[in-house]
Structure 1
Amino acid sequence: MASTFLLTAGGTGGHLFPAQALAAELVRRGHVVELATDQRVGAYGGDFPARKVHVISSATIAGRNPLALARTAWRLARGTWQARGVIRRLKPDAVIGFGGYPTFPPMFAAFLGGVPSVLHEANAVMGRANRMLARRCSAIATSFPLVGEAAGVYPHKTRQTGNPVRDAVISASATPYDVPQDGGAFQLLVFGGSQGARFFSDCLPPALECLDAETRARIRLVQQCRPEDMDRVRAFYERIGITAELAPFFSDMAERIAVSHLVICRSGASSVSELSVIGRPSVLVPLPHALDNDQGRNADILARAGGAWPVAQSELDPARLAALLSELMAAPGRLAEAADCAKRAGRPDAVRRLADLAEYIASGAPVGALDAQETSSGDAS
């Protein structure tokens, strides 16, 4: 029977992309999907296959200033009140949360209203908001085996489904890796999360300038840049003769990953999942100073599989980046092997597994029977 699902995710790509993938799968199965998110949804919400999008008040807990904490508490309480209204009107069979503080009000409202819920953790380390919600949800779905303080805390309701990727990523995964040819054009893709990364705009141009002229002439660059960095980065590349396409956001990122010989990016969960499903080698630069080092843990997983080369931002200056690029561009066999290793680590079936789990929870079946589900076979493979 058709069910109604309320999906909730923060308004950035890292949270919305896996939610979008699940929404598309649930709609294909004949279910009704609505989305609760925050005001940042912007460019990412246009293609979301939801019947309706609800913007819910939220805030991130940061620092210990009493006034700031009071403001945050007020916004979260207001968001919970808004979410309870949405849930009363919609009467969803289940609420599915994808992490971040914007998911806290709808997920907590589901708990207060007795609505079954599934909490999805995209990273190897469970985020703070998810840790607060974990005890109150019906089931927890993870992308990777959890590490850190949440590891093994709720084994009876935790299942490793993988991180859902969008339909465009599944389509792009059919594109075989085009091994770069000696002396031929080299497709380099650089991006840095939802809004780009200033670090790449600062580090990459001088790194490419360090390359010898023959190597530099091979590069065909696509780079995500913040709007405020665009003019200076473009001028730099024009001066050193780099063919570059720059933009703050690429709506066809999956296709661009698929035609790349090498990707340089952050190691957010969605990026790591998409790189592995499509199967492309990458230099991963985890976001520094993260409280739980979640991006560092994500990068380690792909590196252990042989599909990536992680480098800490503090250790990556233009000279080292240039040396690494020269080394990899001169070793097409290494790149092809890394592409193959990345692809073998991918979980293209994650969306099916998570949708199965969502349907199971929406059916009202007892949580203790989760082990009977095909999606929760009990292994951590």
Structure 2
Amino acid sequence: MALHAQEPNRLVVLAAGGTGGHLFPAQALAEALVRRGYVIHLMTDERVRDYGRSFPALETHLVPAATISPSKPFLLPAQLMRLYKGYRAARDVLAKLNPAALAGFGGYPSFPPVIAASRLGIPCCIHDQNAVMGRANRVLSRYADAVASSFPSLERLPEASKNKLRYTGNPVRGIVLEKEAAPYEPAAADAPFNLLVFGGSQGARFFAEFLPEAIKLLPRAVLRNLKIVQQCRPEDIERVKAAYGALDIAFELASFFADMPQRFADAQLIICRSGASTIAELGVIGRPAVMVPLPHALDNDQLHNAEFFAGRGGGWVMPQADLNPQEFAAFLTRLRYQDDELAGAARAALAQGMPDAAERLADLVEDLAHGANTETTSK
């Protein structure tokens, strides 16, 4: 099908880096816009093969991109050249598509499409998933007509772009919304206590090393009814399996859980990283979490996400560098029997959820497409 065959006023382009953190909210927006009768095209990078299988786009366009590395200036010329190639490629596609609007979701793969859209006069917005604005989005905010935020406030948003800010929340996919506000059932003392443990690749590695050491220090009374569901890297599964098997506890290990929202709903407590999508899903489903932010992140975005969520009562922040097995085992032992505290954290988590975030962001995209004034910080 020719690119120009679509009705321009019903076509929206989404631009997102090819990782789950960027693609999942973009997918949620795409689902909302498709329900409203729009046709979606996606601009991303080659990593989409890992995360974009269910993305409801009519076409996916791979655009050259590169991450700028200020600490390695010798790489800068090649990186800028690749971004320029991406800009030219994005400009050519957008000129043929002539979409009603474009929405970017951060990461350097969204850089060329957003700048190209701005130069072509295509209305565009950017969405930032974290409590701290990412480097790419900080630059792109000057080119965007609107800036959507997952949190009520957005740190490091340039002063000149503050009048563009619109609070939408972080969209979650339909499979998460199916478990929205799933009833939280505290575990009685003699009932199974379901502990869900997961993280990205780095989180999975750390938890595979740390959790077995902490779990083996739990009292037998806790171990007797404990059930652990844990995401592990394939190379770690046998080692973790041996460690938990020696404790004679119930456990399930996998490198990927296709039904993760159901695992959220089944859990009494979740141990996880604190990426933006994780925080959003904890809030929509309503589950308490012990959050171990990814250390050494450039903008400490996961720490800020976790502190915001925990500051409103939804869980506990435990920096990775501060963890030791003995103290963590003592913390889990205490929390295991604090039904009121866990249930209260579940309610506080749910209070932060924004199940309508995709619809709010879709409203913003439609406002742009129809030429409405989007400058507000009150929504």
1:48 to 44, 52, 55: 55
Range moving further from structure 2, 236-245 or 137-146? 236-245
Which deviations, in whole Å up to 9, do the C-alpha atoms of 1:46-97 show, x marking residues without a partner? Answer: 1111111112221212243333222221221222122112212222111101
The two structures have a TM-score, normalised by structure 1, of 0.93
**Retained in 1: the 8 A contact 2:181–2:350?**
no
Q: 1:152 to 1:218 in 2, by over 3 A?
A: farther
Cα deviation digits, residues 195-244 of structure 1 (max 9, x gap): 64311111101110111122112221111112222222222222222322
Q: Which moved more, 1:176-185 or 1:82-91?
A: 82-91
- 1:35 aligned residue: 42
Asked whether 1:251 is paired with 2:251, we answer: no
Aligned to 1:132: 139
Match of 1:77, as an amino acid?
Y
Q: How far off its partner does 1:307 sit?
A: 0.8
Post-superposition shift, 1:314? Answer: 0.8
**Structure 1 250/235 Cα, relative in aligned 2: closer, same or farther at 3 Å?**
same
Write the distance in 2 (CA, Å) between the matches of 1:29 and 1:286: 36
Q: Is the 8 A contact 2:181 2:286 kept in 1?
A: no
2:121 partner letter: G
Q: Which residue of 1 aligns with 2:129?
A: 122
Given that 1:13 and 1:194 are in contact with CA atoms closer than 8 Å, whether structure 2 keeps it comes out as no
Q: Give me the whole-angstrom Cα distance separating, in 2, the residues matched to 1:352 and 1:18.
A: 11
Q: Is the 8 A contact 1:195 1:249 kept in 2?
A: no
8 Å CA contact 1:101, 1:129 repeated in 2: yes
- 1:16 maps to a residue whose letter is L
* Displacement after TM superposition at 1:193 (Å): 2.6
Local SS of the residue matching 1:197: helix
Give 1:23's aligned residue: 30
Seq. identity, %: 50
User: Which residue does 1:164 correspond to in 2?
Assistant: 171
Contact 2:138 2:158 in 1 (8 A): no
Offset of 1:273 from its aligned partner?
Answer: 0.7
Match of 2:4 in 1: none
Give the unaligned 5+ runs of structure 2. 1-6
1:1-381 aligned within 5 A:
3-150=10-157, 152-193=159-200, 196-365=203-372, 369-370=373-374, 378-379=377-378
Note the aligned Cα RMSD (angstroms).
1.7
Alpha-carbon offset, residue 152 of structure 1: 5.0
1:202, 1:320 → 2: CA distance? 16
- Cα 1:138–1:310 change in 2 (3 A) is same
Contact 1:195–1:226 (8 Å) recurs in 2 = no
Q: Is the 2:176–2:261 Cα contact (8 Å) retained in structure 1?
A: yes
1:196–1:248 contact (8 Å) kept in structure 2: no
1:335 CA drift (Å) = 0.7
> Equivalents in 1 of 2:50, 2:255: separation in Å?
11
Between Structure 1 and Structure 2, how many residues are aligned?
372
**How far apart in 2 are the matches of 1:262 and 1:151?**
37
Displacement of 1:146: 3.2
| Compared CA separation, residues 118 and 215, structure 1 to 2 (3 A) | same
Rounded Cα–Cα distance in structure 2 between residues aligned with 1:70 and 1:50: 33
Question: CA 1:170 to 1:73, structure 2 compared with 1: closer, same or farther past 3 Å?
Answer: same
Instruction: Please say if residues 14 and 194 of structure 1, whose CA atoms lie closer than 8 Å, have aligned partners that are also in contact.
Output: no
> 2:63 and 2:234 mapped to 1: Cα distance?
27
After TM superposition, the structure 1 stretch with the greater mean CA deviation from structure 2, 235-244 or 9-18, is 235-244
Q: Unaligned stretches of 5+ in structure 1?
A: none
Q: Report the Cα distance in structure 1 between the residues aligned to 2:183 and 2:315, rounded to whole angstroms.
A: 18
Do the aligned residues in 1 keep the contact of 2:104 with 2:127 (CA within 8 Å)? yes
Distance in 1 of aligned mates of 2:232 and 2:51: 17
| TM-score normalised by structure 2 residue count | 0.94
SS, match of residue 81 in structure 1: helix
- Alpha-carbon offset, residue 297 of structure 1: 1.0
Question: Match of 2:292, as an amino acid?
Answer: V
Question: In the alignment, residue 370 of structure 1 is paired with which amino acid?
Answer: T
Please state whether the residue corresponding to 1:135 is helix, strand or coil. coil
Q: Secondary structure at the match of 1:46?
A: coil
Q: Measure, in 2, the Cα distance between the counterparts of 1:337 and 1:36.
A: 41
Instruction: Give the conservation status (yes or no) of the 8 Å contact 1:12–1:194.
Output: no
